[in-house]
Structure formats: structure tokens, C-alpha cells
């Protein structure tokens, strides 16, 4: 071992991956799946099985679309910046009240 080198592991900021899906995104998908199963079970007593399964697939489909298009493999806070820019038009611009560096 080189005595002059200090291992800091500065690049180890990953939340980990399961089946290729980043850590927090997997929780979003599981929450969508649980909501979908709950909705399907709630509707199963009053509606046909196809309608119940179809309605239960909607929450999971929405969450999966959100995760796979706006979160998975994108930079941190990409989804919130994009949605803010669509809503207000200034999601990618730094705030006007952001302090400047006094050394510049």
C-alpha cells in the first residue's frame, strides 16, 4: 500500500441498483405496485375482473412511466427541474436572490 495515498471513496455516492433500477426509483415502483394491487382488490367485489385489473394497472403504469422517463439514469433533481420549467418557465435558471461569490 502506498503510504502517501488516502482512500476517501469520494465517488461512492450511489444508492445501489436492484435489477438495473436505482435504489429510490425501486421504492417508487413498489409504491405504485402496492397502490395498484390495493385498487384492484377494492374494485374486484363490484366490477368484472378485467376492469379491476385494468384499473389497478393504471397507478403502476403512471409511476413506471414517470420513473423510467424522468428519473432513471438522469442527473439528480432532473425531474423536478423539468416539471418546474414546464410550470413556471424558469426551472433551469438559478434564483435571482442567489448570493454571488465575494472573491470573484
Containing structural domain, residue 43? 29-86
How confident is the model at residue 62, as a pLDDT? 96
Could you give the percent of the chain with pLDDT greater than 90? 38
Which class for 60: exposed (0-12), middle (13-18), buried (19 or more C-beta within 10 A)? buried
How confident is the model at residue 71, as a pLDDT? 85
| pLDDT for residue 101 is more than 70 | yes
| pLDDT for residue 104 is more than 70 | no
Query: Within a domain: residue 66?
Result: yes
Do residues 28 and 71 lie in contact, with contact meaning Cβ atoms separated by under 8 Å?
A: yes
Query: Within a domain: residue 41?
Result: yes
pLDDT tens per residue across span 25-42: 888 999 999 999 999 999
Query: Within a domain: residue 36?
Result: yes
| Number of domains, the chain | 1
How confident is the model at residue 29, as a pLDDT? 92
How confident is the model at residue 21, as a pLDDT? 74
Query: Within a domain: residue 38?
Result: yes
pLDDT tens per residue across span 41-91: 999 989 999 999 999 999 999 999 999 888 888 888 888 888 888 887 765
How many helices (H) does the chain have, and how many strands (E)?
A: 3, 2
Amino acid at each position: 500500500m502506498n503510504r502517501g495515498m488516502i482512500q476517501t471513496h469520494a465517488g461512492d455516492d450511489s444508492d445501489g441498483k436492484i435489477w438495473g433500477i436505482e435504489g429510490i426509483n425501486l421504492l417508487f415502483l413498489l409504491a405504485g405496485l402496492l397502490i395498484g394491487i390495493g385498487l384492484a382488490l377494492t374494485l374486484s367485489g363490484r366490477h368484472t375482473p378485467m376492469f379491476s385489473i385494468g384499473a389497478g394497472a393504471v397507478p403502476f403504469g403512471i409511476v413506471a412511466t414517470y420513473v423510467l422517463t424522468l428519473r432513471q439514469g438522469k442527473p439528480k433533481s432532473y425531474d423536478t427541474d423539468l416539471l418546474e420549467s414546464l410550470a413556471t418557465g424558469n426551472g433551469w435558471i438559478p434564483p435571482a436572490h442567489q448570493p454571488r461569490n465575494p472573491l470573484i
